[in-house]
């Protein structure tokens, strides 16, 4: 299996750095990003994307992920706020949460999950829903399928690349329920779990297309592995209430919620 992945990596022109147990992906903010092969998620009408993340720098609309390109894309990003948005030629929809993963706070490791079914999307921080939006028109969770990037925008704008760690990137071919998001956060599912179509961690870097074929995740730029130091079991939770929530359908409003932030 290792030889097969290596040969596939050579075919795609990528370098696959070696990972040790406990390592996480490290993005240096200078052109490093994770890519999935084009159109590998075509046909999936629902998606859940989740990962443990540790931000070292929050830049200008830095991407958690972006699927698709201009005219048909689905994005989760942050600046001084966290936002999830869709962009089609006919319409756009977004939801923004201020005060989350800001450039002024050291959050430590947090778990982010984003779900979308073509009509609505939701965002979760450490298993707690913090943003939700229903679109006026359908959107494609995989965008137009031309590009799937983590840590970088897909259309070459002025957005800053991600700096920090991502660990245990998982993509599901359905919308996970709130309880399933919490369960996946506490006990990550292994590769081969029904519905799990992509897993990128120190042991596995694969994605499964709808036709059942397996493809490697692609390491771009200086993307590499580094010891994560993550131990979510022993971290102590803290909480922050009253985040500002803004969406394309509802103007500014306050949603009093308690978010548990896992600190190192």
- Domains of the chain listed by start with CATH number: 19-227+239-262 (2.60.120.200)
Average pLDDT over residues 152-158: 85
Name the pLDDT band for 161 (thresholds 50, 70, 90): very high
The pLDDT of residue 155: 84
Average pLDDT over residues 131-156: 90
Instruction: Give 221-244 as a DSSP string.
Output: TT-EEEE----GGGPPEEEE--EE
Average pLDDT over residues 44-61: 90
Question: Is residue 240's pLDDT more than 50?
Answer: no
**Cβ(47)–Cβ(116) under 8 Å?**
yes
The pLDDT of residue 100: 54
11-42 confidence digits (pLDDT tens): 444 566 789 999 999 999 999 999 999 999 99
Question: Is residue 117's pLDDT more than 60?
Answer: yes
pTM: 0.82
Average pLDDT over residues 149-159: 88
**Cβ(73)–Cβ(87) under 8 Å?**
yes
Question: Is residue 237's pLDDT more than 60?
Answer: no
Question: Is residue 241's pLDDT more than 90?
Answer: no
Pairing of strands 23-28, 109-116: unpaired
In the block, tokens 């009408």 appear at: 45
User: Structure tokens of 168?
Assistant: 């245990």
Name the pLDDT band for 52 (thresholds 50, 70, 90): very high
CA distance 143 to 145: 5
C-alpha distances out from residue 232 to 20, 148, 216, Å: 18, 28, 27
The pLDDT of residue 61: 84
Name the pLDDT band for 250 (thresholds 50, 70, 90): very low
Question: How many beta carbons lie within 10 A of that of residue 181, not counting itself?
Answer: 24
Q: Count Cβ neighbours within 10 Å for each residue of 134-153 and write b for 16 or more, e otherwise.
A: ebeeebbbbbbbbbbbbbbb
Q: Which residue has the higher pLDDT, 216 or 237?
A: 216
Which stretch, 71-85, 149-163, 190-204, has highest mean pLDDT?
190-204
The pLDDT of residue 91: 54
Q: 170 CB contacts (<8 Å, ≥6 apart)?
A: 48, 49, 50, 51, 184, 188, 189, 196, 198, 199
The pLDDT of residue 88: 60
For the chain, what is the mean pLDDT?
79
pLDDT above 90 covers what percent of the chain? 52
């Amino acid at each position: 299996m290792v030889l097969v992945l290596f040969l596939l990596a050579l075919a795609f022109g990528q370098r696959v750095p070696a990972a040790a147990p406990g390592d996480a992906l490290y993005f240096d903010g200078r052109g490093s990003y994770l890519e999935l092969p084009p159109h590998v998620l075509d046909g999936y009408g629902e998606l859940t994307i989740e990962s443990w993340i540790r931000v070292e720098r929050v830049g200008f609309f830095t991407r958690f992920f972006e699927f698709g390109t201009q005219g048909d894309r689905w994005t989760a990003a942050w600046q001084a706020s966290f936002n999830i948005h869709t962009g089609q030629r006919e319409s756009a929809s977004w939801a923004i949460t201020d005060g989350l993963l800001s450039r002024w706070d050291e959050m430590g490791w947090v778990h982010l999950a984003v779900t979308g079914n073509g009509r609505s999307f939701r965002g979760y921080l450490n298993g707690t829903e913090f943003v939700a939006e229903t679109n006026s028109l359908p959107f494609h969770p995989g965008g137009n399928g031309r590009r799937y990037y983590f840590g970088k925008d897909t259309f070459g704008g002025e957005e800053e690349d991600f700096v920090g760690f991502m660990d245990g990137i998982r993509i599901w071919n359905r919308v996970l329920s709130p309880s399933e998001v919490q369960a996946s956060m506490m006990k990550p599912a292994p590769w081969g779990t029904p519905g799990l179509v992509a897993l990128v961690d120190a042991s596995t870097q694969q994605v499964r297309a709808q036709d059942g074929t397996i493809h490697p995740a692609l390491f771009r730029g200086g993307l590499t592995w580094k010891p994560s130091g993550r131990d979510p079991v022993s971290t102590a939770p803290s909480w922050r209430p009253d985040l500002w929530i803004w969406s394309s359908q509802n103007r500014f409003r306050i949603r009093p919620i308690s978010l548990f932030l896992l600190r190192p």
